[in-house]
Structure 1
């Protein structure tokens, strides 16, 4: 079997969207999808830096590679750092889906508006953007915006209302930024709704899949 990618999601809604993205970028490429909703719930309760959470995420990443995946991509920004820290023993590459987005954002900056719908995503994505800025030698002027009203819509399965709430929050904030970052993979459709702002809007799924395919090619 040729090398393949395995995705670790914390919501089943991501399975179809990432399958579509992969098929668009690499038609016919085989992939696996694993869903563990409890990981996000644990991160919200315990904090994304807890050792117990790290162990659970590492175990989930390793399990996602069990059938031979060469690259395992965590699509949840809240637990992305723990996913990247997974000890792989060289058996597979452990990735977080939003690192490619962060790198692109700091190259487009320096003024970045980071938008999240879930409070537990703010700190991990802030650290990620600072890491990317340091690694690429770029200045960073970071603002954050929490679209507090949006997440309830996501939990209730009303994705149209979720995206509308995110777009409304960003528009109301009248951002003065060089680039807007949508911190969660589920927020990606809001990029189209924000085109009228005339500011580049980045989301993680497409950029993350492209980087995963590059990693797959490199192995």
Structure 2
């Protein structure tokens, strides 16, 4: 089974390799890292890099990918929208997380005992361009589930500069502090894959959802389906 992953940071490579080893040992991962795409999308908007993403998807398919997983939340909608052109499933890593957030926020999960009229979801990000695509995605999943949600954003000021400088500990510490400061929410969504390890440092009792594990599981399922076809 061959899965291509489109990243906008090299830090995601070992994360997904470790998840593959733990959960999907038969899955071959091919990593494509294009940091410049996120920088450009942050200035010009995600649609500005559509042609580049289309070309990367075509190259991945030509190299044998049975599916492609975009691990960048900012570019996820662009990549997902190019699936027909690619000819293979193209998934955004955060869609399974968004679906779960809608369910958690409305008390549907086993962890909750009462159903709220409107779910309360807090979205944490360190890159502002991530908010638009993530909020749109949560809206899509809420509409699909027929549930109403109230979503608010939490921007972690100064964290991305630490990430770019290679200060991973400082980055995660700021994010964990922001997570612990959230109140009045039913569930917390980490809008970027790079935030995942902050869950180990946070002390909140609220559910905190990250995208890598469920996103990779969905993509592995697509590859398995392609093998059976």
Bucket of the pairwise TM-score, normalised by the shorter protein: over 0.9
- 1:217 is aligned to 2:213: no
Q: Which residue, 185, 191, 195 being the options, matches 1:183?
A: 191
Q: List, as ranges, runs of 4+ consecutive aligned residues in structure 1 with deviation greater than 6 Å.
A: none
Q: Superposed, which structure 2 residues align to 1:136-155 within 5 Å?
A: 136-155=145-164
- 1:99 is aligned to 2:95: yes
| Equivalent in the alignment of 2:139 | 130
Shift of 1:89: 4.8
| Equivalent in the alignment of 1:62 | 58
Which ranges in structure 2 are unaligned for 5 or more consecutive residues?
106-118
Asked if 1 retains the 8 angstrom alpha-carbon contact of 2:188 and 2:207, the reply is yes
How many residues align? The count is: 213
Q: Which residue, 12, 17, 24 being the options, matches 1:26?
A: 24
TM-score (structure 1 length as normaliser): 0.93
Shift of 1:101: 0.6
| Equivalent in the alignment of 2:11 | 13
Deviation digits for residues 164-193 of structure 1, max 9, x if unmatched?
Answer: 011112223x32111100000000001122
| Equivalent in the alignment of 1:113 | 122
Which ranges in structure 1 are unaligned for 5 or more consecutive residues?
none
Asked if 1 retains the 8 angstrom alpha-carbon contact of 2:54 and 2:86, the reply is no
CA–CA distance in structure 2, aligned partners of residues 88 and 68 of structure 1: 17
SS in 1 for 2:151: strand
TM-score (structure 2 length as normaliser): 0.89
CA–CA distance in structure 1, aligned partners of residues 27 and 80 of structure 2: 23
Asked if 2 retains the 8 angstrom alpha-carbon contact of 1:58 and 1:85, the reply is no
| Equivalent in the alignment of 1:40 | 38
Asked if 2 retains the 8 angstrom alpha-carbon contact of 1:5 and 1:216, the reply is yes
Asked if 1 retains the 8 angstrom alpha-carbon contact of 2:57 and 2:86, the reply is no
